[in-house]
Each structure stands twice: as C-alpha cells, then as structure tokens.
Structure 1
Amino acid sequence: MRRADRLFQIIQVLRRSRQPVTASQLAVELEVSQRSIYRDIADLIGQRVPIRGEAGIGYLLDRDFDMPPLMLTPDELEAAVLGAQWVAGRGDAVLARAARDLIAKIASAVPARLRPFISEPSIGVPKSRVMAADGLDITRTRSWIGSGRKIRIRYKDEQSRETERTIWPTIIGYAETVRLLAAWCELRQGFRHFRTDRIVSAEFLPEPSGCRPGELRARWQRFMESERGIGPP
C-alpha cells in the first residue's frame, strides 16, 4: 500500500469508529508497524487533520472534519446504504471492509439533514447466514477476473468426485450461504458455475484468458439468456 493511500485509509478507519482506535488496532488492519502508524498520525496532525488522542490511549477524528457534500437524494442514499450493508454481510473480507468504509464516508460527506437516512434507514438487510468456507482466495479471484487471467482448480462435485479444470473466471455470484464462480471451463468447453466451497485447491496462473474480461462477461450473459430462454421474439 502506498503511503498516501495509507494516510487516507487511517482517516477512513477513524471516521467509521465512535471509540478511540489504538495504534495497535490500526497497525493490524493496515498491516504495518505501530511505529509507522505513529509517524502517519503525526503527519496527518501536521497537515491539520483534526485527530485527537495519544499513543497508548487511542485516536479519534473530529466529527466536524469537513468533506465536500455528496449531491444525493434520500432514495439514492438509502439505495447506497442498503447495497453496502448487503456487501458488508456477504462479501469477502476486503469487500466487507470497503463497504463499511463506504457507509462511513457517505455519512461524513452528506449534509446533516440527510444523515438520518443513513443512521435510521427505512429499509434494511436481513442478518446474513454463515457463508460456507471458500476453497480459494476470493479477493485474488476478483483481481484475476479484472485482469483476464486463468485459474487451475481441483473441483469436487456432489458425489465427491474430483476433477482438475482450467477456467477463465468471469463473475462471482452470491447465493444464500455459498458463493458461485461463473467461468469458462476449458475441459467442458462451455460456461460452468462452481460452488467455491467445493473447490479443493486453486492455482492462479499468469496465462491470459482467451478473450478480454468485458467480452467474456458479455458471452456469459448471452449464455445465461439462452439458458433462461430469453431472446428476440
């Protein structure tokens, strides 16, 4: 993580917390040393970021810390918060943290008159059930999808039979308690949907997929439309 990005992330962590955050907690979340956190905090204070506290006790960000207001309607705010709440409860660890940061960022950025639509929304996401453990790194898989690279997996079907596949990962979907990875399967020469909890092992290959990510996703969408019988009259 670049230092400039880390300074911004420290602000995000403090913004979403109502209790003092210790240097130790910041160091664990940002995966750096406490000494680096102390230097970063000192630099932020030197740049007039209103951080209060001290080493050994914790740090708080002044709630009046100013950011440009977001020009969002109440409906848009509730839609954004609802989506972020869903991701916070069901996404992988990196996406879940990003969703919580997003809610905190929106709450800090919007005018005061709109904040009740965030703190007291009229809709909510039901508490998520425990997701089955993934057999591969979902965060890295998202990166491979974006860069259009292949993954070699060992996959176990309903009868516990294992096969080895080289796939072109396309999109990650979410069911109630499992994640699904849609991908072009070189073995079957077609799109398949793999339950991530049935993936026994995964090797992230440097080899590029056979087409660009946008084209691959468009092909998958056409495949799904044909499976559902959706098409021109």
Structure 2
Amino acid sequence: MTRTHRLFQLMQTLRRLPAPVTAAALVNETGVSLRTIYRDIDALRGLGAVIDGEAGFGYTLIEDAALPPLAFSDDELEALVLGLREVSVIGDPALAEAAQTALSKLKSRLPARQTHRLQHAVLDARRFVRPPEPRIDVKKLRAATWEEVTVSFHYEDAKGALSQRRADPLSIVFMQNAHMLMAWCHLRSDFRAFRLDRMSELEVTGVSFRPKRVPLLRDFMDLMRRQAEERAKDRQTFD
C-alpha cells in the first residue's frame, strides 16, 4: 500500500467511524502499526486536515480543508440520504459499504446546519427482512457489465434445476425483493433475468460484446414494459 493510499484510507476511516476514533480502532481498520497512525495523523494535519484530539483520547475529523463545502437544497439532501440508506440495506456488501462511505463524505463537506439535517434526516429506508445474499462476487459482475464482457455461471432455477449459462450482462436491478441480472442468454438466445442468489461459479470470459449493451438493455426494458402493460390489461378485463 502506498503512503498516499494509506493517508486516503485513514481519512475515510476518520469520516466513517463515530468520533472520537481511538488510535487502536484506526490500527484495526487500516492494518498498520500504532506508530504509523501517529505519523499519518501528523501528516494529514500538515496537509490541511483539521483533526482534533491526541493519543490516548481519540481523534475527531473537524474539517477537511482540501474539500470545499457542498451546496444542496434541503429536498436534495433528503433525497441523497434516502437513496444512500436504501443502498445500504438492499445493496450487495461492497455497495452497502460504499453507501456508508458516501454518507460520511457528504457529512464532512456540508455546512453545519445541513450536517445536522443529514444526521437526523426525516426520511429513512428500512427492511426488516434483507434480500437474499448473492452467491457470486457482485463487484466482479458489475465490472464485467461496465466493460461489456460475456460471463459464464451456474444457475439454479426456482425448481432447483441446474444449468450452465453464458450471458451478456446488461444491468443489475433490484426488483421483486431480489437482485436480478438482466442479460442476453446465449443458451436461450433470448433476454433473461437471473437472480443473483441463484448464480454461482461466476467467470468473466474476456469475450467482448461491445457496443451492444445499451441497445440490448433498451430492447429488454421495452419488452418488460410491454409485458407489464399486457398483464395490467388482462387484470382489468377480469376485474
């Protein structure tokens, strides 16, 4: 780990953990020695970060001079908080952690009044039953989707039948209380939605399908919209 990366990680930890953050807690989070923590705190202060506290009492990040305050309306701030809190409860582990980090970054850059508003936002997102845990590395799948690279995986359907799939990943969508991969399935030669908690042994093939992702996804979404409209008409017919 480079010194720059270590200092960045230390700043993120000071933003994220409840203040005051003890040196021991920083050691546990960063994996470096106590002496290195003391040295890095001094280095951050030298770079302009206002960090209150000292060894034995814990540290509180008061202000990051490198980051100017952000300007949001109260409604914009509520929308951001609600969205990030929703991600923290429905996102895969990497995204859930990223949402918490993003909230801590917001807190460090807001004016004092809005920092209070962020901490005590009226809107919240809670789920007492979390969505099923994915059985694959979702970060790896997201990267393959962005890069427009075909993936392969094992899939277990609702009846327990297993199959080997090869698909072009188009998007990851949370719907029907589960995370779904929207994809073009090579086995079926058609669009398919795969539940992430039923996927396993994900492999990135290295075969590119660029630049087809955006038009394929648009076609898939149009198909789903038409199907939803048809189901709605059928329900109205029998009501």
Tell me if TM exceeds 0.5: yes
C-alpha distance in 2, partners of 1:2/1:125?
37
Look up the match of 1:155: 155
Name the amino acid aligned to 1:160: G
- The more displaced of 144-153 and 65-74 is 65-74
CA RMSD of aligned residues (A): 2.7
1:102 deviation in Å?
1.6
Q: Where in structure 2 are there 5+ consecutive unaligned residues?
A: 231-239
1:5 deviation in Å?
4.4
SS of residue in 1 equivalent to 2:62 = coil
1:3 deviation in Å?
4.8
Look up the match of 2:188: 188
Look up the match of 2:219: 219
CA pair 207-42 structure 1, distance change in 2 beyond 3 A: farther
| Per-residue CA distance 1:14-72 (angstroms, 9 max, x = gap) | 02322344566546655x544765654443233232334566x5752332444312121
CA pair 22-181 structure 1, distance change in 2 beyond 3 A: farther
Look up the match of 2:119: 119
Name the amino acid aligned to 1:225: R
1:97-108 map, 5 Å: 97-108=97-108
Larger Rg: 2
Matched length: 228
SS of residue in 1 equivalent to 2:164 = strand
- The more displaced of 150-159 and 175-184 is 175-184
Q: Is the CA contact (8 Å cut-off) linking 1:166 and 1:185 kept in structure 2?
A: yes
Name the amino acid aligned to 2:86: W
Q: Is the CA contact (8 Å cut-off) linking 1:172 and 1:181 kept in structure 2?
A: yes
1:133-172 map, 5 Å: 133-172=133-172
Q: Is the CA contact (8 Å cut-off) linking 2:88 and 2:96 kept in structure 1?
A: yes
Q: Is the CA contact (8 Å cut-off) linking 2:181 and 2:193 kept in structure 1?
A: yes
C-alpha distance in 2, partners of 1:21/1:212?
48
CA pair 61-19 structure 1, distance change in 2 beyond 3 A: closer
TM-score normalized with structure 2 length? 0.81
Q: Where in structure 1 are there 5+ consecutive unaligned residues?
A: none
Look up the match of 1:14: 14
CA pair 221-26 structure 1, distance change in 2 beyond 3 A: farther
Look up the match of 1:62: 61
Percent same amino acid among aligned pairs? 32
TM-score normalized with structure 1 length? 0.83
Name the amino acid aligned to 2:134: D
